[in-house]
Structure 1
Amino acid sequence: MEKIVILTGAGISAESGLGTFRDEDGLWAQHRIEDVATPEGFARNPELVHAFYNARRVQAAAAKPNPAHTALARLQRHWPSEVVIVTQNVDSLHEAAGAERVIHMHGSLAGALCAVCDHRWQAPTEMQSGQPCPVCQVAAGRPDVVWFGEMPYFMDEIFDHLDSTDIFAAIGTSGQVYPAAGFVQGARRAGAATVEINLDPSDGASAFDQVVTGPATSTVPSWVENLLAKAR
């Protein structure tokens, strides 16, 4: 049976109340990306960056998975072959819906990272500038999220999955940020069927065999049900 690799972006969590970069109101609209989502911004003003991610952490903790998350978890449980979920999101809504072994290529709000020794630990609800690393004791704790200019996590593993997939789906992602924007090309080279599921077609929609538009909470469950019906 066919292996499925799914890439999810901010659009899948938007209907759970978590804002995207492009929302006109919300947390991202209140700050420049350069100030809160780059290593340079953290070096300039760690207090601001911690405050921003503390607010995101509280917001994410209060969010509930929506029918799109639930549908993908169901696909993972019932598909007769492997279903790999790779997410650009730093929330834990896939796991809250029951998905397993989710690959968080941009890290997680639930994690803290030492910028000196790379030790990782569970982030408190509020991180503060100057808190020491539990291992090396240097005051270098930061959110364990991938900022602009940094290399996403687990790239070798992700490319291995793309090389062996039969179906690739990109859900709720803008298709503008690399390397994730190039995943569809990798899947196509492997001979996979490709589908984009988005509120509106992305800038890279022409690279996909199929484009499905509409709210994730309706389009994703429908896509999953169609797949499972074919597998019965």
Structure 2
Amino acid sequence: MLRQINTALILALLALPLTAGGCEKKAKGEKTENPDEAGEAGDPLEALKAIPDRLQAEVDGVIAPITDAETLMGEIETIPERYSLSAADFKAMVQANFAITEAGAEIELSADLSIAEDAKAELTATLQKLKEIKVGLETTPARVTVATENIVQIGLEAVELSTKLVASLTAKAKVAMGEKKAEIEAQIQEVTALKDGILTQIEDVKGQVTEIPARAAEVGASFTASFAAG
């Protein structure tokens, strides 16, 4: 996968100068894209600066069920106490909710449950949260596949944005003088450093994402066991 990502980025980088340099013929009446203008996509430099957060968000989204599961497993002894339930009764509710497979269906708490209505609502929300975590853990491999594809696409966007920005700034630097020229050259260095940092981050987040399925399976087994009856 690492070789595939690098190959895709290199191919994109080789292809981009044809469009960034203005060699592609535009249809009559079509506005030539100016990388200095924000347009619908917004400021390209700000878009480039936002990419590290987007990459991290891909990792965070996949790992969220694992983090949530570990947190709730640490509260397994205290959750039943909040609702004046025995551990056995609470686990039975959790298992009953896990067994509901119909989309949008929710567990119905017993009318005999003697807790306040707001506590019932909170208990129902807790049970649903536990179920969402279980589903999230089980679907981790598929979500990792999607996240990996997104990471590759974001990397290509970074190459495209940085290439256009550098081309535009380089053209400006050729006609600039003095402090203005130095300022533009500093901007070119900033963009290049941003791109290089993003490509390095891609390698890092890719490594993180590929390790998540095994961790999800391990945490998932512990999570299910924590709420098993008995």
Q: Same-fold call, TM > 0.5?
A: no
> TM-score, length-normalised on structure 1?
0.24
> TM-score, length-normalised on structure 2?
0.24
> Which protein is bigger by CA-based radius of gyration?
2
Q: Which has the higher strand share?
A: 1
Q: Which of 1 and 2 has higher RCO (CA within 8 Å, sep 6+)? A: 2
Q: Which has the higher helix share?
A: 2
